[in-house]
Amino acid sequence: MVLLIHHPVSAISRKIRLLMAEKRILFVLREEEPWNLSPEIYKLNVAGELPIFIFDGNVIAGNYAITEFLEEVNPDVRLIGGDARQKAEIRRLTEWFDLKFEREVGRSLINEKVFKRFGKGLAPDSKVLKTALNNLNFHMEYIDWLCESRNYLAGSSFSLADVAAAAHLSIIDYLGDVPWEGYKNARLWYSKIKSRPAFKDILKDNIKGILPAKHYANLDF
């Protein structure tokens, strides 16, 4: 059995769930609040980070380790495919979202709107929100530009780069902060990703205490 300890505001958790769903791996989810981790989590992952992937008593922690493990042991559905250069492009863009988007957009928005509220009972800082939303426009432009000449983010095929980008974006979209107007190509790309069967569970996600944006689960948004 595969167990994933996750939380719906953890973008990397969403990425791993999507990855497993694309690879048709059956798994069980257990939710853990990132702002209130139990001591057990630190025993499973000294780094104190979600998600944690557990199979047959084996524990794998860390985005990099879990992602490559899933790709290696489930090669029937490849999400890092093509020749070495194509793989490098997939990994470059995956890292773009996992690190750069996360640092410039996701971390601030989620911290201000979710962590501060539920972890500390504080209101968001509007200055921090504004900077993150400005940064978001830069990332939307980049996605839009990539999708102008490509079917998917890293090229002609669906790949890990799409999974990573959609995982990060979907949380911001839940919060209602993605400015879809003006980014026609990005919107078309996201509607393709949203329509994939693997995305169904992500669209049912529920962050306790926060209602999703009205269009969140709508395939024709």
Give residues in contact with its own copies (CB under 8 A): 46-47, 58, 60-66, 68-69, 72-73, 84-85, 87-89, 91-92, 94-96, 99-100, 142
Closer residue to its own copies (CB): 92 or 130: 92
Closer residue to its own copies (CB): 82 or 124: 82
> What are the CA-CA distances from residue 173 to residues 11, 68, 91, 179 (Å)?
12, 27, 23, 9
Closer residue to its own copies (CB): 14 or 194: 14
The answer to whether 61 and 44 have CB atoms below 8 angstroms apart is yes
Closer residue to its own copies (CB): 147 or 175: 147
Question: Which amino acid is located at 63 in the chain?
Answer: N
Q: How far is the CB of 101 from its own copies (least distance, A)?
A: 10
Q: How far is the CB of 210 from its own copies (least distance, A)?
A: 26
Strand 58-61 versus strand 52-55 pairing type: antiparallel
Closer residue to its own copies (CB): 20 or 175: 20
Angle between helices 84-95 and 160-174 (to 10 degrees): 20
